[in-house]
Amino acid sequence: MNLSEFSVKRPVTIFMLFLGVLLVGLVSLLRLPVELKPNIVYGDISIIVAVRGGMPPQEVEELVTRPIEEAVSTVSYLENIYSTSKAGESRVWLEFEPGTNMDFSALEVREKFSKIRDKLPREIEKPIIAQYKESDMPILLLAITGRGYTPEMLRKVVDEQIKESILRVEGVANVDVYGGRERKILVEVDKNKLYQYGVPMEYVVNALGANNLNLLAGDIERRKNKYLVRIMGEFKSLKDIEDIGITTMSQGSIIKLKEIAKVRDSFLEPTSYARTDIEPVVSIYIQKESTANTIRVVTDIEDEIRRLKKRLDRNIFIKATLNQSDAIKEAIKAVKTSLFYGAILAVIVLLLFLRDPRSTSIIAVTIPISVMATFIMMYLHKISINVMTLSGLALGIGMLVDNSIVVLDNIDKKKQRSGISPDKPDWKKKYTQAIVSGSSEVGLAILASTITTIIVFLPFIL
């Protein structure tokens, strides 16, 4: 019993099978990610390390970039290493061989980096290691404004409350902040005072570095409990910095920092400006990981922003000035609309030429069933809905309609040759035989023509 005969003799089984395909396909469709283009992993991992204090590029290269390059140069399947060092920032990105499992490579890079993490300067901030390119376009650009807030005040809010929350969102690779000046504590040393007291500049630098930290001093054990003792030495105010002892005089008196320098709560020189509608703002550029879904990441970021707004001052406003997910949704919507109209036009053309509503309805029903079956396979293979997959669906629908016409035309010829008429007692048997014979005859030819079309696109798989 071939497929055509089985389908005719078991109509209830075939109906339930197609109904199951429709239901599972609908569930798969609702869970499929949406992208503008296929989500391709290019085999790149970026390591971004920011350094506090405005360290010059030469020192960033020597103390940060070079140790990182030496540590990660032994990672498996690594092809190239590129790096840039600029004032206060080191960026290293790695290119891997095609076909490399990037999840394992990212784990290996993190493992290599962790071995030299403690050897890097204490001024570095939390490093960012993610699968993305520095040249990738940001998926979301936010403008932060505030009634009664200066750009510097907004920059402080962004750095302390907003930036870290967005970085924790799954799929976010990097967050850059522009606009507003960063807050810095400036220690302006008086050279004349240094010369007067005979204090080298090194003493001042060493004293500042040695006092601004918390240390574990040990523990105190009791019968049931154990208490850890820590020495809290981080600066909490300008007065704490001013009262640091730099050195002692021969008479035993202590020279404090405030006697040889002025300590000011100020800002660095501006390195970037951000404006929206002519007003100065603080902008946040958000980039995603290469493998992350744009729409899903943007949705998660928007959810996080809604939670942030509940904690922030009501006079602070967050506005999206660029949102790639909107453009993706519009593009996919346009392709979906074209695909739908194409299917409708194909049915109308069939009706005009076949002049048989029943045959046309059979072909029309096969279109959604086949599309739903495709959605199931896309979901199982983690393929997103994008311009290319939708274009492939359009091509598949065209082939489906062509093959359906061939089968129906052959069945119609068999019916005419058999002289089937409802007046004859055995017309149902002959009708069934015509359907089975007509579809079976062209089955091999349709299979061969479909395979030849698939072979044309085979190189794309490789």
On the question of a common fold for 42-130 and 184-267, the answer reads: no
Give the span between the Cα atoms of 438 and 8, in whole angstroms. Answer: 12
For 42-130, CATH number? Answer: 3.30.70.1430
CA angle centred on 318, ends 313 and 323, rounded to 5°? 160
Alpha-carbon gap, residue 51 to 88, rounded angstroms: 5
Per-residue pLDDT reduced to its tens digit, 25-83:
999 988 888 877 776 656 788 888 888 766 788 888 988 999 999 999 889 888 889 88
3-state secondary structure of 462: coil
The pLDDT tens digits for 273-292 are: 787 777 888 899 998 887 77
Contacts of 86 (CB under 8 A, 6+ apart): 57, 60
Would you tell me which CATH number, out of the four given (3.30.2090.10, 3.20.20.70, 3.90.1150.10, 2.70.210.12), belongs to the domain 184-267? 3.30.2090.10
DSSP assignment of 224-242 equals S-EEEEEE-----SHHHHH
Please choose, from the candidates 249, 247, 318, the residue with its C-alpha nearest in 3D space to the C-alpha of residue 283: 318
Sequence-ordered list of residues with C-beta below 8 angstroms from that of 350, at least 6 positions apart, any chain: 359, 360, 363, 364, 401, 405
* Per-residue pLDDT at 427: 64
Q: For the chain, which ranges sit under pLDDT 50?
A: none
pLDDT at 24: 92
Residue 303 is predicted with a pLDDT of: 92
Contact criterion met (CB below 8 Å) for 140 and 320? yes
Helices (H), 88-229: 102-116, 151-157, 163-167, 191-197, 201-211
Q: How far apart are CA 290 and CA 137, in angstroms?
A: 11
Task: Write out pLDDT tens, residues 79-88.
Answer: 889 888 888 8
pLDDT at 420: 65
Domain formed by 3-31+356-461, architecture: Up-down Bundle (1.20)
CA distances from 141 to 72, 242, 270, 283, 307 (A): 31, 40, 20, 7, 18
Residue ranges covered by each domain of the chain = 3-31+356-461, 42-130, 184-267
* Predicted local confidence at residue 23, as pLDDT: 92
